Structure 1
Amino acid sequence: MKINVVYAHPLADSYQASLHSRIVRTLKDRGDEIVDFDLHAMNFNPVMQAEERRGHFDLSQTPEDLQIYIDALKWAEACVFCFPTWWSGMPAILKGYFDRVWRPGIAYEVPPDGGAIKPLLLNIRRMGVVTTCGSPWWYTELYMQNPGKKVLLRGLKTMCGSHVKHLYLTRYSVEGISTEKREAFARKVERRFEAF
């Protein structure tokens, strides 16, 4: 399978970085073709400036710095996102990736007469997410009702059509858990991606 992995964490020695490495290694061991983007290492600019926004609906005005990300998105049969959950959502750099890369004409089409937008990423058949939260399960799931998960699975996933399978793995209370519990979650991630 052709898989685009998108990773977002500023620290190369973080727990999230180790999860990212294990995901990529597991997928490569399966024989998948991987295009792996470390948004921080690639100095991805998440900020959409005024000129870009004015031309946002015109593909001929797509900024050159986005082409590598767009090409990978159109090439892939699956996308995997690995990131920490901060303030109940994705980090700014990943939000900026979606704002700038999953643009009209690439991820969706806006009908000229209005109505529901049309998904364009029909090449994507699977979506995987691995995230960590400092908050406990009850806070994220019960109190906040997991807004980050809703954005990804109820919003962005729909740009890939209606039959996309997904895998969503979260480790809660990550700051306070033992090394053993971190390793147990990492092994779970590996097992689930072996069958991805």
Structure 2
Amino acid sequence: MSKKILLILGHPSSDSLCAHLADAYASGATQAGCQVKQIRLGDLRFDPTLHEGYKRIQPLEDDLVKAQEAITWAAHLVFVYPTWWGAMPALLKGFIDRVFLPGFAFKYRQNSKFWDKLLAGRSAHLLVTMDTPPWYYRWIFSMPGHHQMKKTILEFSGIKPVKISSFGPIMNSSTKQREQWTAQALDFGREA
């Protein structure tokens, strides 16, 4: 049975380095015989604001219902997005706020400090671009966006292991460097 991969492009533009990395990963995974579905957040129609927090779950738009179905289908999630201001773009955060809901991604236990991780059994790979050199993001900034996505979102929901690959600095990168990053994403897909 082939591996089921859901690739989520968290960059709003379909003409970005992130989009090229996502396409390369999808191509490599398809070549490896995996089943691949893609969600491009810039193409979805949804309100990214959780207007009342989790006090009352607002109805999901059709695109978000389909996204939950795709996440349920997948064995492996691949998120491709840039780091802006130390973390993911607002569009990706809004998508997570609206889709990774109580009862779908997790469920608190009654009279307990613990919760059920409803997305267990899945793994993830984050392909993250940044203008900051990855070593600087790690050692000076302590990788706040990586920790947020890996620990407080995906692992909280039961998704693990979570692999992270950082690409940068993007600003002033050469065409050759971007081609090398794209080839690396293709290889990641082939290895999925």
- Common fold: TM-score over 0.5: yes
Q: What does the per-residue CA deviation read over 1:65-101, in whole Å, with 9 as the maximum and x for residues that have no partner? A: 3211111111111111001110110000111111111
**Does 2:36 correspond to 1:34?**
yes
- The equivalent position to 1:10 in structure 2, one of 9, 12, 15, is 12
TM-score (norm 2): 0.90
- Matches of residues 1-196 of structure 1 in structure 2 within 5 Å? 1-50=3-52, 53-56=54-57, 62-65=59-62, 66-124=64-122, 126-161=123-158, 164-196=160-192
CA contact (8 A) 2:14 2:42 kept: no
CA contact (8 A) 2:29 2:189 kept: yes
CA contact (8 A) 2:134 2:166 kept: no
Higher relative contact order at CA 8 Å, sep ≥6: structure 1 or structure 2?
2
CA contact (8 A) 1:47 1:96 kept: yes
CA contact (8 A) 1:120 1:159 kept: no
TM-superposed deviation, 1:175: 1.0
Percent pairwise identity = 26
Distance 2:180 2:113 in 1: 46
**Misfit runs of 4+, over 3 Å:** 159-162
Provide closer, same or farther for how the CA distance between residues 167 and 63 of structure 1 changes in structure 2, counting only shifts above 3 A: same
CA contact (8 A) 2:13 2:19 kept: yes
Distance 1:102 1:42 in 2: 16
CA contact (8 A) 1:8 1:84 kept: yes
The one-letter amino acid of 1:12's match is: S
Distance 1:109 1:32 in 2: 30
Distance 2:61 2:174 in 1: 44
Q: What does the per-residue CA deviation read over 1:140-185, in whole Å, with 9 as the maximum and x for residues that have no partner? A: 11111011111122222324537x2333111121112111111112
Structure 2: give runs of 5+ residues left out of the alignment.
none
Structure 1: give runs of 5+ residues left out of the alignment.
none
TM-superposed deviation, 1:62: 4.4
CA RMSD of aligned residues (A): 1.8
CA contact (8 A) 2:21 2:181 kept: no
Provide closer, same or farther for how the CA distance between residues 21 and 44 of structure 1 changes in structure 2, counting only shifts above 3 A: farther
TM-score (norm 1): 0.88
Q: What does the per-residue CA deviation read over 1:110-147, in whole Å, with 9 as the maximum and x for residues that have no partner? A: 111131222011241x2011111011234311111011
Which secondary structure state, in structure 1, belongs to the residue aligned with residue 43 of structure 2? coil
Number of residues of Structure 1 aligned to a counterpart in Structure 2: 189
